[in-house]
Amino acid sequence: WIGTDGEGVNCFNPNKNEFTHFKSTLKNKVVSIAGYSESELAISVYSDRIWLFNKRTGLIRPLPIKDPDINYNIRYAGRSINLYDENKDNLLLLGRNVKRYNKSTGECTYLNIEGGTEKRNLFFLGKTAEGIWIHDAYSIYLLQQGEDTLKKVLDLGVLINSGDFGRDGTLWLATKNGVYKCNTLSKEANLIETHLFTNATSIICDNNSRVWVGTDDALYAYLPEADRFAIFGHSDGASSNEYLPKPRLLSNRNEVYLGGIKGLLYIDESYSIDSVEKPLIKLDEIEVDHKSIKLGKKTSFRLPAGSKTLSLSVNVHEKDIFRQKRFRFYLSSNSYIESVSPTLRFPQLPSPGTYPIMVSCTKRNGEWSTPTEIIALTIPQPWYFSWWFILIICMSAAGIAAGTYLSQKRRKENQIKL
């Protein structure tokens, strides 16, 4: 069951690969969708109300709420309410605070929040044996069974977009600064370092210990055992998409679903990311003093004397030509410049000498390809370091010194005669 922004509630049948649309919810902006009973779903609609949707008939009816504050916030204040089916008796309503809705009486009760919140909406994070996990903009809370207080477990201090628990109990958070690995027992959070992206918007763990990460424009998978990210593109079936924090699901068949502004992505449980195509990197062109130079099959190049600027461009031959990559340009075996661009521009020319320029790029599985030499580049000595210029300087200096000596000698001889 899928709630959409403007097209109401939809049902996807994975066996038939078909969507069913329901006219009763057409043009509704569904903020949140949750289970309510065996026959009904609870759907929160922006600037409208909370409805009960019959899964068999497709008809809707208002959820009877004896709380004018909830109705006012949804219908007139334009505030979103996120839903979570706590148990057969209660439904959690998450806004800037948390209310527990009793399905039998229609009454709501406030839940206390330890330390307060950042006055931003609260979101369901996950459920474990310890209880229900909820997050706001910067903190993680735990609601234990039978309790009426959300206990603050972790204050991250970084904007949290989404989160999910792995099978081993590890909490993974998608944040503005990237992906964090959190231990809820020790209350430790560690950033997974990567140059592939910064803002992670969506995250979900599968049963193969892979952590799928959606960003504003691409899909990644973090492989904890290898401690690396894999990136996916159009040739893998992951077209460019802006992934959203809430629409994410691990189905009963262990299939991953991620929603974005361009549609729904499906990842089969058996999908393998072990086989990796080896990218072939070749020199495209050299630009000297803003003039393009095509080298063809040449393996070396000497810059003209007096050159001021230099840039090198490469292209990568592989199946997915639109795949996002990072590049490393090696000037020596232990010195490189890393860039998201296939073009290396020198703000100033390296010291005179010969440099075998080598380049590597990130592969689909996040590893770096083996550096490939694309050109042997020779930077000549400046003209003022050439032998003939130095000889002229030395001869001129010697001439000046000799002239000065003879002039002083004559001056002394004239003084003696006087």
Compute the Cα dihedral for 53, 59, 64, 69 and give only its sign: positive
Tokens of 266: 């499906």
User: Parallel, antiparallel, or unpaired: how do β-strands 372-379 and 300-302 relate?
Assistant: parallel
pLDDT of 384: 54
pLDDT tens across 345-387, in order? 987 887 888 889 999 998 877 788 999 999 998 888 765 555 5
Q: How many C-beta atoms surround the C-beta of residue 242 within 10 A?
A: 14
Q: How many CA atoms lie within 13 A of 84 on its CB side?
A: 19
Nearest to 368 by CA among 320, 311, 329: 329
pLDDT at 140 over 90: yes
pLDDT of 388: 59
- pTM confidence score: 0.77
Residue type, 340: V
pLDDT of 131: 96
Q: How confident is the model at residue 290 (pLDDT cuts 50, 70, 90)?
A: confident
More confident residue, 138 or 119: 138
pLDDT tens across 60-86, in order? 999 999 998 888 888 888 889 999 999
pLDDT of 397: 74
DSSP for 178-226?
EEEEEETTTTEEEE---SS-S-EEEEEE-TTS-EEEEESS-EEEEETTT
Q: Are 126 and 164 in contact (CB under 8 A)?
A: yes
Measured CA distances, 59 to 23, 30, 103 (Å): 9, 15, 19
Residues with Cβ within 8 Å of 205's Cβ and at least 6 positions away in sequence, in order, are 164, 165, 166, 167, 172, 211, 212, 250
Q: Are 164 and 128 in contact (CB under 8 A)?
A: no
Tokens of 52: 């009960």
pLDDT of 191: 97
- Four-CA torsion 58, 248, 82, 17, nearest 10 degrees: -10
